[in-house]
Structure 1
Amino acid sequence: MIYTHDTLVNLQEEYDNTKIQEIIDELEQELIGLIPVKTRIKEIAALLLIDRLRSKLHLVSGSPGLHMSFTGSPGTGKTTIAMKMADILNRLSYIKKGHLLTVTRDDLVGQYIGHTAPKTKEVLKQAMGGVLFIDEAYYLYKPDNERDYGAEAIEILLQVMENQRDDLVVIFAGYKDKMDKFYESNPGLSSRVTNHVDFPDYTAQELIEIAKLMLEEQQYKFAPDTNTILLEYAERRMKQPHFANARSIKNAIDRARMRQANRIFSSGDKILTKADLVTIKSEDILKSRLFSQAN
């Protein structure tokens, strides 16, 4: 088939109209590291944009699957990326509202017969037109408990994912090894999830950059001699149980601010300057368990 000039579409114009670049720029500015994740999101956005252009020319479309899987450790930015993805899908008109609804097993599964279906359907009703983000999704499936109602919630989800895919996008999230087993347990679920994004853990240096951004947002800053101490803290904390990437660093920063406040409060009648109020010193990190035991 030959297309005449009036059937052509302008890629740059379409790109500008949807303002996808704004979201891509936000990803670069707001999130440290995560290069593989950012690359994958750009690829998905590009595919969806081209699919939209093909539809305008009445070309056969592969109807790209929109349901996704985000795998990785806690604190690696999965929820943040899900929010950006919801925005992209909305700007490309794949979803009508663009909101993100985050839920866990407790929001979907009931505790007695007849309780699960209404709970799951109510959540789906709230999520329609947007993205449903199910965190630690593998807890929906408990094969060792024959009286568990998680399987019922999964079946309802599967029906909606297939029959109302123009109204809802579902993102399943959790640890990669557990998510892999979750998909193996239900081939129907696995076949409906076509976009898999793996979130790597942050490096110690990336955690320091994240800490600086967090402080900057709260109008604080580190003293010049603090970086080395914080880097050592991050390296120690990464080796301990329950490490949660950016979440652990946020907790460390919150405790450092508390110690800074206590230090200032204990300074007596000293006249305070703006620098005193905004500066986190190395001693605010070194004191107590924050550094010595790297909690």
Structure 2
Amino acid sequence: MPLNNTNSSRKEVLRLFEAGQISISKVFKSIKEEEVEQIGAQEGVSSQQDRIKEVIDELNKLVGLDNIKELVKELKAFVKIQQVRKQRGLKSDPLVLHMIFKGNPGTGKTTVARIFGKLFKELGVLETGELQEVERADLVGEYIGHTAKKTREVIDKALGGILFIDEAYSLARGGKKDFGKETIDTLVKEMEDNKDNLIIILAGYPQEMDHFLSTNPGLKSRFPIQIEFEDYTLDQLVEIASLMLKNREYELTSQAETKFYSLLAKIRQEKGTDSGNARTVRNIIERLLRKQATRLADLKSIKKEELITITKADLHQLTIDEIY
């Protein structure tokens, strides 16, 4: 009688041995293979848990975003429990994870979307977890019938991952005759058809997104998760700057840090709150590094400490117009 070592239990192996249908060597071989499979399964679970922890650690290292970090705990727990209920033959709620991200530029929306993709891949919700970022021009066509085809092609490329539509409110700006409405209708249909292997995230300015959703009540109900991305405080922006510089092996002097704070405060006062976020910090740093390089380039001998240090003098050379 053939023996399926992968699926047989130890009791079944012993029963076959007692019936004289397999030899003692096959008994030991079967038990050994079963032990190897169990070890492999345990290692697989452990490896998956390690990867999930790495993704969550990546999120937790980001400055601020406390509401999103708490949401991730809830989503991770919800996905796990629904999967366990399904395994136990109980009713499980559908994993509808389409989202709305509302926030000003530079508040971390794209970064968080990318982390979500990695997380949902490791949780078994998405096949690849890859992020495809698009905007209106990638979705809306130029003539009747072109838009639906164009939108479906974008969705096909995003299957298995996350489709991130930035400035999504622009899809409804042209009125009833605009082709953007065709994109919305196509998105709604494709969301339903591919609900098990696609997450769509609509992102944009808070007020514009609220207005966009109010124009289509049916659309709002299909995005059960709405996340507010708050503007960073000035202290948080300085912390972000320090982390960005540390990753590139630079650091601010205490005086430079104070000057950096003052510069950010001035930018917010002149340009508005939505202009003083992480994207602005990145722009400042790129220019700061060039200012520092210019200051050091003519020195005959350059110490390692000087190569690392960004000084108040480097910041003094920056103007707001130069940053934008």
Q: Are the aligned partners of 2:56 and 2:119 in contact in 1 as well (CA < 8 Å)?
A: no
1:172 partner SS: strand
1:212 is matched with which residue? 242
1:254 aligns with 2:286: yes
Over residues 80-129 of structure 1, what are the superposed CA-to-partner deviations in whole Å (9 max), with x where a residue is unaligned?
11111111211121111111100001100012233212211110110011
Structure 1 counterpart of 2:120, from 74, 89, 98? 89
Q: Which runs of 4+ in 1 moved over 4 A?
A: 13-16, 292-295
Give the 3 Å change call, closer, same or farther, for CA 110–170 of structure 1 in structure 2: same
2:68 is matched with which residue? 37
The Cα shift of 1:16 comes to: 6.2
1:150 and 1:40 mapped to 2: Cα distance? 31
1:95 partner SS: coil
1:71 is matched with which residue? 102
Structure 1 counterpart of 2:159, from 128, 132, 143? 128
1:270 is matched with which residue? 300
1:3 is matched with which residue? none
Q: Are the aligned partners of 1:237 and 1:294 in contact in 2 as well (CA < 8 Å)?
A: no
Structure 2 counterpart of 1:20, from 48, 52, 55? 52
2:19 is matched with which residue? none
Q: Are the aligned partners of 1:233 and 1:294 in contact in 2 as well (CA < 8 Å)?
A: no
Give the 3 Å change call, closer, same or farther, for CA 294–152 of structure 1 in structure 2: closer
1:92 and 1:78 mapped to 2: Cα distance? 21
Q: Are the aligned partners of 1:230 and 1:285 in contact in 2 as well (CA < 8 Å)?
A: yes
Identity %: 40
Give the 3 Å change call, closer, same or farther, for CA 280–194 of structure 1 in structure 2: same
Q: Which has the higher helix share?
A: 2
1:40 partner SS: helix
1:101 aligns with 2:152: no
The Cα shift of 1:247 comes to: 0.2
Q: Are the aligned partners of 2:107 and 2:229 in contact in 1 as well (CA < 8 Å)?
A: yes
1:174 is matched with which residue? 204
Give the letter aligned to residue 259 of structure 2: I
The Cα shift of 1:191 comes to: 1.1
Give the 3 Å change call, closer, same or farther, for CA 57–17 of structure 1 in structure 2: farther
Over residues 145-194 of structure 1, what are the superposed CA-to-partner deviations in whole Å (9 max), with x where a residue is unaligned?
x4420011111100011121012110111111111111111122111100
The Cα shift of 1:60 comes to: 0.9
Give the 3 Å change call, closer, same or farther, for CA 169–294 of structure 1 in structure 2: closer
1:239 partner SS: helix
Q: Are the aligned partners of 1:131 and 1:168 in contact in 2 as well (CA < 8 Å)?
A: yes
Q: Are the aligned partners of 1:73 and 1:244 in contact in 2 as well (CA < 8 Å)?
A: no
Q: Are the aligned partners of 2:283 and 2:323 in contact in 1 as well (CA < 8 Å)?
A: no
1:201 and 1:45 mapped to 2: Cα distance? 25
Instruction: Give the number of aligned pairs.
Output: 279
Structure 2 counterpart of 1:116, from 147, 168, 178? 147
The Cα shift of 1:18 comes to: 7.2
TM-score by length of 1: 0.88
Unmatched 5+ residue regions in structure 2?
Answer: 1-44
Q: Are the aligned partners of 2:287 and 2:323 in contact in 1 as well (CA < 8 Å)?
A: no
2:257 is matched with which residue? 227
1:238 partner SS: helix
Q: Which has the higher contact order (CA 8 A, sep 6+)?
A: 1
Answer with 165-174 or 51-60: which moved more: 51-60
1:5 is matched with which residue? none
1:8 is matched with which residue? none
2:259 and 2:51 mapped to 1: Cα distance? 41
TM-score by length of 2: 0.81
Unmatched 5+ residue regions in structure 1?
Answer: 1-12
Answer with 13-22 or 216-225: which moved more: 13-22
1:132 partner SS: strand
2:266 is matched with which residue? 236
Answer with 104-113 or 237-246: which moved more: 237-246
1:183 and 1:15 mapped to 2: Cα distance? 40
Over residues 178-233 of structure 1, what are the superposed CA-to-partner deviations in whole Å (9 max), with x where a residue is unaligned?
11111111122111100111111100000001001111111111123211111111
